[in-house]
Structure 1
């Protein structure tokens, strides 16, 4: 192939390889009562640990389930934290020991030991459009 064609092919088709992708999220096993579901997305261990999300959504949870889509994401690794705000105060409530008392979950259905899971445990690789399911506990 001549060099000019190679450059033109890269210019024309290169952006397609780096195209944005959508992550479809299905949430299951929530309470039957209608409640807001808070979902935060993270793209690094640091942002996951500090709670500084790159995207967030609040969607209605009905009959124990919900669906949402995060659109236009570049390829990479992402982790989600979710919780159901059953009492409507806008935060994940915990008991005196610090254990959550409202339904919550993480991508990959990840679980932590004596706390939340790590970013690596919850991270989902996104190289193109994808769908995941998160089960609340």
Structure 2
């Protein structure tokens, strides 16, 4: 009896869910950065969208204004990406007198931002078990 239990457990480990199906690699391709500081980005669930997200990176764009972030171990689901370029390297997105950002910014799906950040539903992308490639174009100035 105990031998059958051990064999069943080993069979489950060998052919069962290893966890690889539960996480994916997400690649975020940034374009449109200007000469200057780093690009800061977040990959967010809906619950995290207006706050601090679990998946974050800071990147240096290349001479053409492009950068690529890779996030591993991302559970399949619905996510949005927000990014900005910290041109003056002060660690935050700067705003002008009228409240509009003065540094390049962007969201997944080129989600429009009018009088504030876009809604999650405008920026949402699906991450499947095989991952996702998400383009984000900086601009908005």
Give 1:20's aligned residue. Answer: 23
Give 1:65's aligned residue. Answer: 66
Offset from partner CA, 1:37-60 (integer Å, 9 cap, x none): 10112111x3212x1211110010
- RMSD over aligned CA atoms reads 2.1
Q: CA deviation at 1:30?
A: 1.4
Give 1:74's aligned residue. Answer: 75
Unmatched 5+ stretches in structure 2: 1-7
Structure 2 CA distance, aligned partners of 1:79 and 1:135? 13
Q: CA deviation at 1:15?
A: 4.1
Q: CA deviation at 1:16?
A: 6.1
Offset from partner CA, 1:72-113 (integer Å, 9 cap, x none): 111111111101010110000000111000000011111123
Report whether the alignment pairs 1:102 with 2:103: yes
Structure 1 CA distance, aligned partners of 2:19 and 2:48? 28
Structure 1 CA distance, aligned partners of 2:101 and 2:18? 43
Q: Contact 2:76–2:131 (CA<8 Å) still a contact in 1?
A: no
Report whether the alignment pairs 1:133 with 2:135: yes
4+ residue stretches of structure 1 with deviation over 2 A?
A: 11-19
Q: CA deviation at 1:68?
A: 1.2
After alignment, is 70-79 or 109-118 more displaced? 109-118
The number of residues matched between the two structures is 128
Q: CA deviation at 1:130?
A: 1.7
Q: Contact 1:34–1:60 (CA<8 Å) still a contact in 2?
A: no
Secondary structure at 2:121's aligned position in 1? Answer: helix
Structure 2 CA distance, aligned partners of 1:62 and 1:102? 17
Give 1:56's aligned residue. Answer: 56
Q: What is the TM-score with the length of structure 2 in the denominator?
A: 0.81
Q: What is the TM-score with the length of structure 1 in the denominator?
A: 0.83
